[in-house]
Amino acid sequence: MAPRTIAIIVLLLLIAPLALADTLELVSPANGVSIEPTVNGVSFRTDSKDSVKSCTVFIDDEPKKTLTYNDVITGRTLQLSLDIPDGEHRWNAICVMSDGTTIASETRTFTAANVKSAVTAKSSGLFRGSMAYEFSFENTAEQEPVIVKKLAAGDFIWVIFKIPPSNIKKELYIKRFAVEQGTPFIYLEDLKKREVYKIARGENGTINISSSSVIVNFVDIELNRAVVAVYPFIQDGTTEETPNNLPDEDAAPTDDDATTDTVDTVAGSTSDDNEDGTEGTIDDVATPPQENADSSTDSTPGQDDAPEGRESKGVFTRFIAWLASIFGA
Q: How far apart are CA 25 and CA 48, in angstroms?
A: 11
> Who contacts 220 (Cβ-Cβ below 8 Å, separation ≥6)?
184, 201, 202, 226, 227, 271, 280
pLDDT in tens, 189-204: 888 888 899 999 888 8
Q: Nearest CA to 207 among 172, 177, 253?
A: 172
Residues of the chain scoring pLDDT < 50: 15-19, 117, 124-129, 140, 235-311, 329
Q: What domains sit in the chain, N to C, each tagged with a CATH number?
A: 22-112 (2.60.40.10), 118-233 (2.60.98)
Q: pLDDT value at position 165?
A: 54
According to the model, what pLDDT value does residue 89 have?
92
In three state form, how does the secondary structure of the chain look? Answer: CCHHHHHHHHHHHHHHHHHHCCEEEEEECCCCEEECCCCCCEEEEEECCCCEEEEEEEECCEEEEEEECCCCCCCCEEEECCCCCCEEEEEEEEEEECCCCEEECCCEEEEECCCCCEEEEEEEEEECCEEEEEEEEECCCCCCCEEEEEECCCCEEEEEEEECCEEEEEEEEEEEEEEECCEEEEEEEECCCCCEEEEECCCEEEEEECCEEEEEEEEEEECCEEEEEEEEECCCCCCCCCCCCCCCCCCCCCCCCCCCCCCCCCCCCCCCCCCCCCCCCCCCECCCCCCCCCHHHCCCCCCCCHHHHHHHHHHHHHHHHHHHHHHCC
CA nearest neighbour of 259 among 178, 177, 176, 180: 180
CA 257 – CA 260 distance, rounded (Å): 5
What amino acid is encoded at 256 in this protein? D
- Using alpha carbons, list the distances in angstroms from residue 126 to 120, 130, 155, 223: 18, 5, 9, 19
Tell me how far apart the alpha carbons of residues 317 and 304 are, in angstroms, rounded to a whole number: 22
pLDDT in tens, 244-295: 332 333 333 333 333 222 222 222 222 333 333 333 333 333 333 333 334 3
Nearest residue to 264 via CA among 184, 193, 171, 163: 184
